Amino acid sequence: MRTGGRRCYPSTARAQERFARPGVEWRPNPRFAMHRAVAYAISTVIVLLGVWIIAAGVSSGSPVLWIVVGLVPIVIGLVSAFGPT
């Protein structure tokens, strides 16, 4: 049966049922979880760098400048951690 030029993609659950092999349980790729953990760790380090810049900058001669400079890596780290994928 034709679908008018559109492709019909099954849902993920149906695809797993359709392409599953007997006796083999579907499991997510462990490398994917490790890549995600490394990405979150890098984002955390970036945010901590911004916090460190702000903490060190508050005691300097121009704290407003260093607070603004410290907010840049904090925003970048938060966007990289929780932004769109």
What pTM does this model have? 0.64
Residue 47 lies in a domain: yes
* Distance from C-alpha of 49 to C-alpha of 28, rounded to nearest angstrom: 33
HEC-encoded secondary structure of the chain: CCCCCCCCCCCHHHHHHHHCCCCCCCCCCHHHHHHHHHHHHHHHHHHHHHHHHHHHHHCCCCHHHHHHHHHHHHHHHHHHHHCCC
Predicted confidence (pLDDT) per residue in 3-36, tens digit: 555 555 555 566 556 666 666 666 667 777 788 8
Residue 7 lies in a domain: no
Range of the domain at 56: 34-85
Number of domains present in the structure of the chain: 1
Residue 8 lies in a domain: no
Predicted confidence (pLDDT) per residue in 28-56, tens digit: 677 777 888 899 999 999 999 999 999 99
Residue 85 lies in a domain: yes
